[in-house]
């Protein structure tokens, strides 16, 4: 590797050489050029290097990393300042994707680190939702009643909430990649312990442990995805990260139900643990090293909660998801008893509903750069409200009830990415807590929905009446999101 340095006056340089390197204010007085860079990987503690016109220009910036593959392509880990990265782009520097150096970031539809994070949400989705479809088999094997087996679901939800607080207290000073690896390790250990659970107590403990990393994973993953995203692409990348949850509902949960029937329910959690191992190895390989978030003290993490905005976002998540799950919790009896779907066809209906979740997630990722996050969330929540109203009044007609259910499912995951980003915006020192609280609000909404959706049925109404409290909660979420959109619009008008 051959290195030489030159002063900013560039004495002795030809005009052609001088024109090869764009000039802009952030560059220091002395510029270093590296011609024969042949190292596979070089860590830069005091210098950040950028590729331009066949040369690497080094500026006095911290935290940079240059990676070279065998084909001599160069790329760099994004600088700590998004504004400086934008300055690089405007000055003509090609900004390469840190994971896929053959493409620029703009060309990469789904960077590998987002694919890795989505695989993690797939594992979490199977761990959380599959228990509902295999509850009878678990109860029979462990010789407990169905209500007692329901405690396994509650234990997971409790772990989700506890994991958020444990992360805030003990893990806030860790580098983000290290923290993510610890969280993924808990996914592996918790689900592996579930495989070998031989009684009620061990099963409750393993499900609690499996739930601990859930909210923390979404918190850390959302920050990593947004930090590595291109300007204006944070919502898209976070939405794509959540894609794993939708695929879990589309493929993972039905497959888990089949494996429980054909082999054993324990195999479902064994596969989840193996998936966690794959995620762990993939994080090591494809997620770039990232420093810990700035630590302003324990109390500073909660400072953003003194403002109204995060509470409004959490309320919108809580009521919006509560509305959807009020109906989804009772979709089986609604479809079979009211719509007239044969029990043998319910697996097909649920697969179509899962496909709706995937489609809604991908549609949001497609629209993320064209609309603001409050606008996307508000639109999705409004359509969810209309879909639930349609289900309530058209449940007796299959060609109305089934498409409306698919649309409602798509809306639920359409709004998840924008809402996650809205929690990160303005959180400052509390971004880790804010992102995790969004997922906690999601799970709390699920619990609320399952309870209020059952109230009309307990009162003697037919199952489609679960959509009545469902669309009421969804409308409440819509009003909150509309208020957030209006505040956002007025703020930008004044600026």
Distance CA 181, CA 167 (A): 13
| Cβ neighbours for 90, distance < 8 A, ≥ 6 positions apart | 24
Residues ≥6 apart with Cβ < 8 Å to 83: none
Looking only at Cα atoms, what is the longest distance across the chain?
91
Q: Which of 64-78, 104-118, 339-353 has the lowest mean pLDDT?
A: 64-78
Taking the C-alpha atoms of residue 404 and residue 392, their distance in angstroms, rounded to an integer, is 10
Q: Which residue has the higher pLDDT, 52 or 475?
A: 475
Residue 109 banded pLDDT, cuts 50, 70, 90 = low
Task: Decide: residue 324, CB within 10 A, 0-12 exposed, 13-18 middle, 19+ buried.
Answer: buried
The pLDDT assigned to 134 comes to 80
Matching residue, tokens 């888990």: 256
pLDDT score for 379: 94
Q: What is the pLDDT of residues 322-370, one digit of tens each?
A: 899 888 878 878 888 899 988 778 778 888 888 898 899 889 888 887 8
More confident residue, 408 or 260: 408
Q: How many helices (H) and strands (E) does the chain have?
A: 19, 7
Place 495 in a pLDDT band, splitting at 50, 70 and 90: low
Nearest Cα residue to 208 out of 258, 260, 166: 166
Q: How far is CA 258 from CA 112, 198, 229, 275, 411, in A?
A: 30, 22, 38, 18, 27
Closest by CA to 235, choosing from 409, 361, 407, is 361
Backbone angles phi, psi at 445, to 5 degrees: -65, -40
Contact partners, residue 42, CB within 8 Å, separation at least 6: 65, 66, 68
pTM tops 0.85, yes or no: no
Q: Is the pLDDT of residue 33 over 60?
A: no
Phi, psi (5° rounding) for residue 34?
-115, 120
pLDDT tens track for 267-286: 999 999 999 999 999 999 88
146 close to 270: Cβ distance less than 8 angstroms: no
- pLDDT tens-digit map of 160-217: 888 887 887 777 778 889 999 999 999 999 999 999 999 999 999 999 999 999 988 9
Average pLDDT over residues 67-93: 41
Query: What does the pLDDT average to over 396-402?
Result: 93
What is the spatial distance between Cα 416 and Cα 474, in angstroms, rounded to a whole number?
Answer: 14
| Mean pLDDT, the chain, integer | 76
Q: How many CB atoms lie within 10 A of CB 222?
A: 28
């Amino acid at each position: 590797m051959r290195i030489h340095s030159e002063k900013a006056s560039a004495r002795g340089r030809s005009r052609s050489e001088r024109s090869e390197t764009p000039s802009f204010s952030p560059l220091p007085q002395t510029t270093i050029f590296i011609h024969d860079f042949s190292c596979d990987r070089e860590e830069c503690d005091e210098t950040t290097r950028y590729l331009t016109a066949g040369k690497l220009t080094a500026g006095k910036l911290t935290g940079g990393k240059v990676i070279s593959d065998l084909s001599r392509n160069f790329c760099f880990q994004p600088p700590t300042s998004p504004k400086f990265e934008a300055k690089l782009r405007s000055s003509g520097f090609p900004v390469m994707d840190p994971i896929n150096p053959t493409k620029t970031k703009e060309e990469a539809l789904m960077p590998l680190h987002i694919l890795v994070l989505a695989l993690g949400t797939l594992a979490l989705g199977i761990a959380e939702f599959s228990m509902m479809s295999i509850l009878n088999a678990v109860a029979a094997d462990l010789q407990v009643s169905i209500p007692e087996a329901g405690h396994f679901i509650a234990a997971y939800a409790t772990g989700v909430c506890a994991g958020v607080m444990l992360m805030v207290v003990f893990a806030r000073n860790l580098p983000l990649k290290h923290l993510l690896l610890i969280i993924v390790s808990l996914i592996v250990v918790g689900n592996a312990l579930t495989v070998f659970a031989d009684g009620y107590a061990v099963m409750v403990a393993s499900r609690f442990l499996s739930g601990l990393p859930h909210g923390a994973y979404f918190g850390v993953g959302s920050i990593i995805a947004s930090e590595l995203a291109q300007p204006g692409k944070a919502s898209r990348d976070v939405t794509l990260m959540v894609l794993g949850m939708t695929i879990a509902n589309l493929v993972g949960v039905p497959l888990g139900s089949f494996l429980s029937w054909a082999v054993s329910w324990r195999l479902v959690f064994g596969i989840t643990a193996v998936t966690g191992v794959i995620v762990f190895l993939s994080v090591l390989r494809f997620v770039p090293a990232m420093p810990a978030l700035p630590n302003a003290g324990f109390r500073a993490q909660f400072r953003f909660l003194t403002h109204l905005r995060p509470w409004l976002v959490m309320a919108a998540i809580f009521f919006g998801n509560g509305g959807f799950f009020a109906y989804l919790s009772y979709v089986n009896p609604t479809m079979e008893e009211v719509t007239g779907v044969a029990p043998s066809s319910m697996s097909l209906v649920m697969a179509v509903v899962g496909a709706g979740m995937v489609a809604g997630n991908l549609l949001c990722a497609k629209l993320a750069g064209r609309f603001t996050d409050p606008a996307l969330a508000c639109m999705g929540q409004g359509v969810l409200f209309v879909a639930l109203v349609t289900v309530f009044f058209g449940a007796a007609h299959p060609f109305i009830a089934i498409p409306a259910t698919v649309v409602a499912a798509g809306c639920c995951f359409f709004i998840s990415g924008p809402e996650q980003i809205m929690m990160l915006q303005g959180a400052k020192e509390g971004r880790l807590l804010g992102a995790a609280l969004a997922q906690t609000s999601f799970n709390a909404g699920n619990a609320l929905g399952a309870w209020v959706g059952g109230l009309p049925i307990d009162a003697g109404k037919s199952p489609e009446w679960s959509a009545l409290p469902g669309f009421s909660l969804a409308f409440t979420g819509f009003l909150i999101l509309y208020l957030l959109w209006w505040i956002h619009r007025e703020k930008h008008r004044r600026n």
